[in-house]
Structure 1
Amino acid sequence: MKIVQVNYKDTVGYRFNGGALIPWLRSCGHNAVQAVGIKQSLNDSSVNIVPHPWRFPAEFFARLVHRVERAISIHNVLYPQSFLLPFNPAFKAADVVHYHIIHNEFFSYLAFPWLTRLKPTVWSLHDPWAITGHCVHPFDCKGWKTGCHPCPHLDYPFAIRKDRAWLNYKLKNFAYKYSQLHLIVASQWMQSLVEQSPLLSRFPVHHIPFGLDLNLFSPGNKAEAKAKLGIPTDQIVISLRSLQGPYKGLEYSIKALELLPANAAVHVLTCQAKSLLSSLADKFQITELGEIDGDAAMVDFFRATDIHLMPSMAESFGMMAIEAAACGVPSVVFSGTPLPEVCFAPEGGIAVERGDSQKLAEAIYSLIRDSQKRELMGFRARELAEQNYDFDRYATRIMSIYAQAIDKHSRAKLW
């Protein structure tokens, strides 16, 4: 089978943007490649969406489109790359095309009626953007059920200057109406949104959680992992993603840690941005790893962790939660997101009311005080990860959706 994965970039987020599927598919004898808006790797697993010699004119035009769309408050409507995709040799040869993250201002969903008529099409929804008038996450807003008019949150990413969320919504409805799509979501939470969406409920939706290499992402010797990072082995390590913004809940992590007793033997371990936890510097020792490069380094991060703190305000899945579970680490998360489902709360983690830092602190402290509870919860998280997050199982299920899409597309052509 010849398979094309379409995505914004080939290296960033490769575990969920189709990049990790490429070597697996090739090992099974399939011809698989990513077609991307921005190619960063040097290997042959990805190609630019726009073939030479149209690439540079298309990129120049895309910059102009970006300025125009911002000015008139529409989003991902006018970009030319998607309309040039059918001229790409990889697309021409493909038996099935699998779209991933296509809303990063390089791809027009208005091309879907044409693209899905040409090739059997699968689309993995990595966030709710496809069902809204402009935002990536609607939080508690229910406007996506009724047309996004008026929009009370123009500032939600992707922010728009004028209230034309209703227009984006109508344009999506038009494009989807004439498209043939098989949808994939990674969580039951996301599946529920799609099934309630007036835009996307017309399509078959398949719930397939992401997979991991569970031989690599696995429990290890915590004392050795802590020593490797220069962390005292007698301290309880609380890890978190240090990232500002409306989604990841960093402010709630900081507040919860501030509420912990000062005598708690806690060491805070962070990844991604640095210098965002200065208010805790006098209370706890902090190790900031910055951007983590590669899976092996991420495994070291979780093997050194005793409690993973992930109070995201909005997620569609939460890769770090499954990485923690695979490494036998319980997560503490907010409800109202997919994370309780993903980290197997209450068996493999703890979920508390969204936005409640006091409850978050209490949950963390309960795991600090009770080592047996912490270890049993981590052990159960690993057991459930083995049952749900094996990569071979994930990829095999994806292949079954490809077969369904190809079969439906071939039968549709008979009419």
Structure 2
Amino acid sequence: MKIIQINNTDLPGARFNGYNLQKNFNSRGINTKQLVYEKLSNDENVITFSDSVNTSDIYREFENKYSIKSIVFPYAHKIMNMREFLDADIVHYHLIHNYILSILDFPKLVSLKKSVWTIHDPWVFTGHCIYPMNCKKYLSGCIDCEHLDRNFSMLRDNAADMWELKKKIFNSFDIDIVVASKWMKNLINESPITQSFKRIHIIPFGINLDKYKVDDNRKAKIRKKLGIPQDEIVLFFRADRSAYKGLDLIKEMLDRLNVNKRVALLTVGEAGLLNRYRLKYKVIDFGWLNNEDEIADLYACSDIFLMPSTAEAFGVMAIEAMASSIPVIVMEGTALPDVVNAPQCGIVFSKNNVGDFVSKVEWLINNAEERLNRGKLCRVLAEERYDENQYFDAMLDLYKDIIRGSK
């Protein structure tokens, strides 16, 4: 069996963009390549399809100017003539809207090979945005868009035309679809653009659970290295300006948090977004980290993980936290409550209710036994649902079924 994974890049997002899939399959002796526009690794099985002269920015600027998305990128024509593509038995597409493919070329691509498409977010059935949030216009045509500033933003309202184009392209699409959550499958089923997608497979992403296994010695060692006292409460979260990641909710919670314990804030993402809290809390920013071992150490020394995303189709950081035996607090209205099995395992607060968020954080801070018990439940859940080997095996089984013609 020869397999191709297609994405815009390899290392960032390796756990869900096909890179780890190809690594695992090649370790099993299964011929797998990843085709990307931007190659950052030294992996011989990752092959770039970029131009000899970088023209991606030119296409991007053109699309921004005319308020269109994934229309003019020409790389499908190069991909379909690459030897790796021609020899493939299965082609698995990932984030095709990350400036690599034209959706006008996509039907041609999938007609040439047995194909799988992992849909990571709702962009495929909206007029332009990655997440529609509370807006329901994606169900009826995205006419008169009121949120042109949302990513992927538009200079003028071309959302309805893009919606109609997507409907024309995808409404009769014959391809196996993979999603990571029930939440995402439900959205696909209700959209007029994707209602014709009949073969939808829920396959949650997985992680290397061994990397995140924590014991008291590891926790103490990492805290000592970072200068964090053993009795200090550590809140860990992603610092991101994106409206989807809930940083504003975290800030409002921190403004109102009132506990009799010292609290440290660990962040990954963008440094400096919590500077105004440095008098009240110890703030340690780590910026963007691509090294999984370094990220695993941050989970290992933390007590609570905060992930109040306002939009989330899965949430890899949530399962990393659970694998690290720390409780996770999420907000209702996304895929996350189901992913963390709230309220039995993870903890959920009411949508946009900062008071409820504060009370849940204070409750965990003040109850060490509850943190410990919840952490143990989280680890068990991660072992049951989110072992990367389960993800690899499920994906390989799907490929085999497709080749045999049973899917």
TM superposition shift of 1:63 = 3.9
Aligned to 1:215: 210
Runs of 4 or more above 4 Å deviation: none
TM superposition shift of 1:262 = 5.7
What per-residue deviation string (whole Å, max 9, x for no partner) do you get for residues 89-143 of structure 1?
1111110100111112221111121111100110111111111111111101111
Q: Tell whether the 8 Å contact from 1:242 to 1:270 is kept in structure 2 after alignment.
A: yes
Inter-partner Cα distance in structure 1 for 2:166 and 2:405? 22
Aligned to 2:162: 168
- Which of residues 121, 125, 141 is equivalent to 2:135? 141
Aligned to 2:52: 56
Aligned to 1:29: 29
- Which of residues 266, 269, 277 is equivalent to 1:269? 266
Task: Say which SS state the counterpart of residue 62 (structure 2) adopts.
Answer: helix
Q: Tell whether the 8 Å contact from 2:171 to 2:194 is kept in structure 1 after alignment.
A: no
TM superposition shift of 1:229 = 1.8
Q: Tell whether the 8 Å contact from 1:347 to 1:381 is kept in structure 2 after alignment.
A: no
Q: 1:402/1:348 Cα in 2 relative to 1: closer, same or farther (>3 Å)?
A: same
What per-residue deviation string (whole Å, max 9, x for no partner) do you get for residues 196-229 of structure 1?
1112221211111111111112222222232222
Inter-partner Cα distance in structure 2 for 1:337 and 1:7? 25
Aligned to 2:299: 302
What per-residue deviation string (whole Å, max 9, x for no partner) do you get for residues 152-195 of structure 1?
21111000112111111122122224532111111111111111
Task: Say which SS state the counterpart of residue 19 (structure 2) adopts.
Answer: coil
Q: 1:343/1:388 Cα in 2 relative to 1: closer, same or farther (>3 Å)?
A: same
Inter-partner Cα distance in structure 2 for 1:205 and 1:192? 10
What is the CA RMSD across the aligned residues, in angstroms? 1.6
Task: List aligned pairs for 1:230-245, cutoff 5 A.
Answer: 230-245=227-242
More off after superposition, 75-84 vs 221-230: 221-230
TM superposition shift of 1:147 = 1.6
Inter-partner Cα distance in structure 1 for 2:386 and 2:290? 22
**5+ residue gaps in structure 2?**
none
- Check if 1:156 corresponds to 2:150: yes
Residue type matched to 2:347 in 1?
I
Residue type matched to 2:96 in 1?
I
Inter-partner Cα distance in structure 2 for 1:337 and 1:219? 28
Q: Tell whether the 8 Å contact from 1:331 to 1:350 is kept in structure 2 after alignment.
A: yes
Q: Tell whether the 8 Å contact from 1:186 to 1:209 is kept in structure 2 after alignment.
A: yes
Aligned to 1:356: 353
Q: 1:278/1:320 Cα in 2 relative to 1: closer, same or farther (>3 Å)?
A: same
TM superposition shift of 1:377 = 0.5
Identity %: 36
Residue type matched to 2:371 in 1?
R
Residue type matched to 2:24 in 1?
W
Q: Tell whether the 8 Å contact from 1:117 to 1:179 is kept in structure 2 after alignment.
A: no
TM superposition shift of 1:371 = 0.8
Aligned to 1:83: 77
TM-score (normalised: structure 2): 0.95
TM superposition shift of 1:330 = 0.5
Inter-partner Cα distance in structure 2 for 1:200 and 1:358? 37
TM superposition shift of 1:320 = 0.6
Task: Say which SS state the counterpart of residue 56 (structure 1) adopts.
Answer: coil
Q: Tell whether the 8 Å contact from 1:237 to 1:305 is kept in structure 2 after alignment.
A: yes
Task: Say which SS state the counterpart of residue 87 (structure 1) adopts.
Answer: coil
Aligned to 1:19: 19
